[in-house]
Copies of this chain bind each other. A is one copy, B any other.
Amino acid sequence: MTVVDEIKKKSVPVDEAIEKLLPVTEPAGLYEASRHIVKAGGKRLRPAVLLTSAEAVGGCADSAIPAAVAVELMHTFTLVHDDIMDNDPVRRGLPAVHTLWGEAGGILAGDTLYSKAIEIITESDSDPVRLLKSANILSRTCVGVCEGQWLDIDFETRDIVSAGEYLEMIEKKTAILFGAAAQIGAIIGGADEKVAQAMYDYGRLVGLGFQIYDDVLDLVTPEEVLGKRQGSDIFEGKRTLLMIHASEKGAIPRAFGKGADSSGSGTKEDIEEAIRVLTDSGSLAYVKDLAVGFVEEGKAKLDILPDSPKKQLLKDMADYMLYRTY
């Protein structure tokens, strides 16, 4: 079975549990709004990491399913609120929650998802000390995600952002939730503190690689594969690590920040020019190397575990963060 198949297989009981743990009750509108993005897809990568981590430390995936649901709802909550803050009308190919239910609806749906995440993890059937620790990690992670989003918004007001600052931002905004997923899986799976910490580092580092490589995928992957417009970061003038490096080298693609519309901006030629410019400046290589480096560093953290098919799967998942194309 390929890693993609493994991730898909793990998403089945998670989706079933979401259906059970986040049903539409009264007031129905609130729960429809809360479920909208959860039900709109998503690869359930974080639940897959969590469940595999539980198995890799010798535990059973079943008892970790509520925690996996909690992590996915937490992730969704941040998407719903981010879309309001970033004024982004679309998510996962559908109208964002605030597009359909208004801003107040989006705020409340996000708050509900977060509350449900904590409710679900604190009443699941597992050792109370381990659950308490897991709820603590999840809430601390969420504080960190808020810090990361604050930095992200703050960066938009600034002329210059260093690579170090950018990395701190994506570590908080994205990587630590992967870390929390792996750590909580390990804790519920019965791991000791040292192993759980190593699993956190695994998730955090792999999450960094995942987010950094996103910039590359955005530029080099055709729309029919990625599901969103190729090069959209460039056309939108997004300050990614790729562009931070390119700016330092004075290598700005001609289409950067020029928008992409039917009037002719954002053409296939623009994308080819951008790839050429960013290859010549060494920016694409820099970002690829950095992403690969983080993923390799993350995989090395798994040395603490005895060899097993589940450990191998965690390694394969780490690699998948880079070669995923959807």
Which A residues contact B (CB, under 8 angstroms)?
A: 26-27, 29-30, 81, 84-85, 103-105, 107-108, 110-112, 114-119, 122-123, 128-129, 131-133, 135-136, 138-140, 142-143, 146-147, 149-151, 153-154
Contact = CB atoms under 8 A, between A and B. Distances in A.
Contacts of A138: 118
Contacts of A142: 111, 114-115, 118
Contacts of A114: 111, 114-115, 142
Contacts of A154: 27, 29
Number of copies: 2
Contacts of A105: 150, 153
A35 to B, nearest CB: 14
Given A116-B143, A129-B128, A151 B27 contact: yes
Contact of A128 (B30, B110, B115, B128): B128
A149 B27 CA distance: 10
Contacts of A132: 122, 128, 131-132, 135
Contacts of A150: 27, 29-30, 105, 108
A168 to B, nearest CB: 9
A129 B150 CA distance: 34
Nearest to A30: B150
B27 A111 contact: no
A146 B85 contact: no
B139 A119 contact: yes
B136 A122 contact: yes
B29 A146 contact: no
A139 B115 contact: yes
Contacts of A123: 136
B146 A115 contact: yes
8 contacts: A84-B107, A85-B104, A85-B108, A115-B139, A115-B140, A118-B138, A118-B142, A128-B132
A135 B142 CA distance: 15
A319 B13 CA distance: 50
B111 A136 contact: no
A131 to B, nearest CB: 6
Contacts of A140: 115, 119
Contacts of A128: 128-129, 132
